[in-house]
Amino acid sequence: MNAIEGWLADYAPQALDTLKAFCRIESVSTDPAFKTGIEDASRFVATQLRDAGFPLVDIVETGGHPAVLAEWCAAPGAPTVLIYGHYDVQPPDPIDKWTSPAFEPTIRNDRLYARGVSDDKGPLLIPIIVAKAFHSLHGKLPLNLKVIIEGEEESGSPHLSPTVARLKDRLACDLVVSADGAMWRADLPSVTVASRGLIALEVVLTGAAKDLHSGRHGGSAPNPIRALTQMLATLHDAEGNVTVPGFSDAVTPPDPLILAAIQSANFDAAAYFDSIGAPHPDPLPSGAELLTRQWLIPTLEFNGISGGYAGSGTKTVIPASASVKITCRLVAGQDPEAVKSAIVRHLRSVLPTGYAMQSLDRGPGSAAFALNPNLPALAIAESVLSELLGAQPLRVAMGATIPIGDVFKTHLGAEMLFFSFSTSDEDYHAPNEFLRLSNFRLGMVAWARLIERLAKA
């Protein structure tokens, strides 16, 4: 144990007190009733950063909830790392499902229970405390460190991209390390190296100018539900594979280590269908196939469909229009705009005569996140985790979308590494959110080693 790790071990009780104090602040970003909590949390983070030795700490306006920026750039010639995190939390609802109050941090079985403790107050506090260790022992850091902690992650980070764009000179760096994110499973050390992108669109089909009587007009008038269902049926084959021409053309092969992780993960297909309460398909796909579909295959999912009468009973109407909401999860290589165009072009190619089709963009879309598998920083992170966890961490992907990776890549040209010590089973959008305190302590050692080794890279 070196001096920094010894200092962190001695400081553990105070670190826990700081985390508890942070968790008592009700910093729910989506609900204006928690405005005071947001302000308190941003000031709390700024105070911790100043205490940790950062000479420059700002609470900056974003147009929404403020972000906290810090810079400690006193290591000429050494790399510059930008740390990302968020101080806002999910709403505590449903409140009556909590065993102990959501904003009264409580320890049970070496777990700290509180809203936001795992997502993302615990994980973001770790590198700040590590900086404080360097400051206390050496009065300086071995590299240049910048920090951006936003307050709107749980609201979809609406102001993050413009803020990073505006402050791109201040945020310039060689690497972004996200303290947000999660280990995949408690029993499997992992590092997230890819996530899927997202596009959203809506397609509206119109026939007649108004709803028509299905007796009088049935058979002769256009029925947009019939046309739309026939068009949508051409988007997948019977196995659910997307069949839109051009949809997957630009897909680049995934990191072979992700494929290896899928094979070694022992994902249980039957348990998966049981967990979502769905009948088992026959034949049952393998767990590896399901994981491949969740992590590495782009999707085209229908999120909503509507048209005509949706009330109880029956109404003999031929509706004037019908519409469908579509989102796609993209993988590395796919361009969001190109994929959107391919879908719209294909739907127009199968549009029957006698109908008008309108396609509506629902958001700008975001590309998939895929870390360069040969990035030296990734190897460093893996070696740190490997020596601390006793096993080489799996390189995992996630099916969901992490827009921040795209934000930093676009505006700063920097790769982003996930280095988080929460675990995806810690109920972070649900009642009884918790953080394993063993990981809180482990994370401090890991971040200290990461910073030391990145400094020498």
Of residues 192-211, which lie at the interface with a copy of itself (CB under 8 A)?
Answer: 196, 198, 200, 202, 207-210
Binding to a copy of itself (CB under 8 A) within 12-31 occurs at: none
Among residues 155 and 294, whose Cβ is nearest to a copy of itself? 294
Question: Least distance (Å) from a copy of itself to the CB of residue 249?
Answer: 18
Binding to a copy of itself (CB under 8 A) within 265-304 occurs at: 272-273, 276-282, 290-291, 293-294, 297, 299, 301-304
Axis-axis angle for helices 437-456, 376-389 (nearest 10): 140
Question: Least distance (Å) from a copy of itself to the CB of residue 428?
Answer: 13
- Considering only 400, 413, 456, 457, the residue that binds a copy of itself (CB under 8 A) is 400
Q: Please choose, out of 35-43, 257-265, 310-318, 447-455, the segment that lies near a copy of itself by the rule CB under 8 A.
A: 310-318
State the number of CA atoms in the 13 A half-sphere of 287 facing the CB: 12
Q: Give the Cα separation of 417 and 178 in Å (integer).
A: 6
Residue 186 found at the interface with a copy of itself (CB under 8 A): no
CA 234 to chain centre: 31
Q: Give the Cα separation of 234 and 50 in Å (integer).
A: 58
Q: Letter for the amino acid at 360?
A: L
Residue 220 found at the interface with a copy of itself (CB under 8 A): yes
Q: Please choose, out of 141-149, 246-254, 307-315, 447-455, the segment that lies near a copy of itself by the rule CB under 8 A.
A: 307-315
In the numeric block, which tokens belong to residue 407? 């934000």
Q: Give the Cα separation of 273 and 267 in Å (integer).
A: 11
415-418/106-108 β-pairing: unpaired
Question: Least distance (Å) from a copy of itself to the CB of residue 336?
Answer: 14
Q: Which residues lie below 8 Å from residue 57, measured CB to CB, with a gap of 6+?
A: 46, 49, 50, 68, 69, 70
- Considering only 6, 246, 363, 364, the residue that binds a copy of itself (CB under 8 A) is 363
Site string for a copy of itself, 369-398 (x = CB under 8 A): -----------------------------x
Question: Least distance (Å) from a copy of itself to the CB of residue 391?
Answer: 25
Total site size for a copy of itself, rule CB under 8 A:
78
CA 20 to chain centre: 25
Binding to a copy of itself (CB under 8 A) within 32-71 occurs at: none
Q: Please choose, out of 60-68, 71-79, 81-89, 309-317, the segment that lies near a copy of itself by the rule CB under 8 A.
A: 309-317
SS (H, E, C) 195-261: ECEEEEEEEEEECCCCCEECCCCCCCCCCHHHHHHHHHCCCECCCCCECCCCCCCCCCCCCHHHHHH
Among residues 185 and 293, whose Cβ is nearest to a copy of itself? 293
- Considering only 13, 76, 94, 313, the residue that binds a copy of itself (CB under 8 A) is 313
Residue 357 found at the interface with a copy of itself (CB under 8 A): no
Among residues 14 and 234, whose Cβ is nearest to a copy of itself? 234
In the numeric block, which tokens belong to residue 421? 């010590």
Residue 182 found at the interface with a copy of itself (CB under 8 A): no
Residue 151 is classified by DSSP as S
| Exposure class string for 225-264: b at 16+ Cβ within 10 A, else e | bbbbeebbeebbeeeeebebeebbeebeebbebbbebbee
Please answer whether residues 212 and 377 qualify as being in contact, where contact means their C-beta atoms are separated by less than 8 angstroms: no
Question: Least distance (Å) from a copy of itself to the CB of residue 423?
Answer: 15
Binding to a copy of itself (CB under 8 A) within 133-172 occurs at: none
Residue 217 found at the interface with a copy of itself (CB under 8 A): yes
How are strands ordered across the β-sheet holding 321-330? 321-330, 197-206, 356-361
Among residues 326 and 414, whose Cβ is nearest to a copy of itself? 326
Among residues 142 and 333, whose Cβ is nearest to a copy of itself? 333
Torsions phi, psi of 161, nearest 5?
A: -60, -50
Q: Give the Cα separation of 84 and 69 in Å (integer).
A: 10
Question: Least distance (Å) from a copy of itself to the CB of residue 191?
Answer: 18
Q: Please choose, out of 82-90, 177-185, 306-314, 385-393, the segment that lies near a copy of itself by the rule CB under 8 A.
A: 306-314
Q: Give the Cα separation of 296 and 258 in Å (integer).
A: 9
Binding to a copy of itself (CB under 8 A) within 325-344 occurs at: 325, 327, 329
